Amino acid sequence: MKIAVAGYGNLGKAAVRAVLNSEADELVGVFSRRSAETLGAGENIRVFPFETIALFAEEIDVVLNCTGSAHDLPETTPFIASYFNVVDSFDTHAKIPEHFQSVNKAAVMSGKTAVISVGWDPGLFSLARIYMESVMPSCRTYTFWGRGVSQGHADAIRSIDGVLFAREYTIPAEEAKESLRKGRLLNLPQEKLHRRVCYVVEKDGADREKIREEIINMPEYFKGYETEVNFISLDDFLLEHKSMAHAGNVIALRKGDAGTDRLEFLLSSPSNPQITAGILLAYGKACVRMNRKNEFGCKTVFDVRPVDLFCGAKGKETELL
């Protein structure tokens, strides 16, 4: 398939790698608001201005939209869906219904297919949750994130006055996880299943105690969590906090007549962008297959049949049964 990548941040770069590593697919190019020179994408990768994407109608089967999540996707995905099949990794949970509506409107009008909120959470973890809740309707599902970096939490810290750089590690409560694995149901809110460790580089003369207070009391992001704030030098920040590793688990327990059933899904990756890009590419190709069957409009991972996601030869999926 002919695949374009929009945006060239960490995820966009990983998406380009994923397409180049896939023998069955061809990279049309990268569409970015930045100039080819600034991007440094390498000589063999064509870079085009984002605004010109509509001119490539005949040349693109699907666009992997890797423009920044919190701000850009609500505009860029509906725009792209007006011309192309598209996937994104929109992850602002509360705004998914709204995003769905605007992407759906665009995709229905253009006769294209979009899948939004693709990645590992939302994405693979959402799938784990829906399958577990479906086959064990009375179960309780627990989601653990980490140990890994949360870009959203780092962004939230950076928005505080006096902060230059920030990094946040989400760390799951291993004891809670082990209790669940022994079949013991827990009555703990999500905040008690994780703690948050932050590394902050402050601006010259900034008030550390004030920054710390603002962080630990920030609603939704930190309030209620056990939060550790460390102030470090810029040198240490650049040296010691480069890892993009992430991990997580979804664990479901169901007390049945014969005892407690447990299902668990687990992910571990040295590179959050690498694993997310692979998932985006797979769902991008699913978009194209669904579009060819006239399944237009906006979808989530819940609407995609596993058979439409599978990239192997037709009929080969029977071997995986």
Q: Please report whether residue 21 would count as binding a second copy according to CB under 8 A.
A: yes
| CA 203 – CA 170 distance, rounded (Å) | 24
* Tokens representing residue 237 in the block: 């920040």
Q: At what angle do helices 69-81 and 96-110 cross, to 10 degrees?
A: 20
Q: Which residue stretch of 121-129, 162-170, 187-195, 220-228 sits at the interface with a second copy (rule: CB under 8 A)? A: 121-129
Interface residue with a second copy, options 45, 130, 186, 206 (CB under 8 A): 130
Interaction between residue 129 and a second copy (CB under 8 A):
yes
**275-304: which residues touch a second copy (CB under 8 A)?**
275, 278-279, 282, 300-304
DSSP-derived 3-state class of residue 197: strand
CB of 290 vs a second copy, minimal distance in Å: 11
Q: Which residues contact 249 (CB under 8 A, 6 or more apart)?
A: 142, 143, 144, 172, 177, 264, 265, 266, 267
Shortest Å, Cβ 280 to a second copy: 9
Separation between Cα atoms, residue 14 and residue 9, nearest integer Å: 9
- DSSP-based three-state secondary structure for 227: strand
Contact segment (CB under 8 A) with a second copy among 135-143, 146-154, 220-228, 232-240 equals 135-143
* Least Cβ distance, residue 237 to a second copy (angstroms): 21
Instruction: Describe the chain by its helix, strand, coil percentages, rounded to 5.
Output: 40, 25, 30
CB of 227 to a second copy, least distance (A): 26
* Structure token digits, residue 30: 């990268």
Q: Which is closer to a second copy, CB of 116 or CB of 216?
A: 116
Residues that bind a second copy (CB under 8 A): 14, 17, 21-22, 93, 96-97, 117, 122, 124, 126-131, 133-138, 244, 254, 256-271, 273-275, 278-279, 282, 300-307, 309-312, 317-318, 320-321
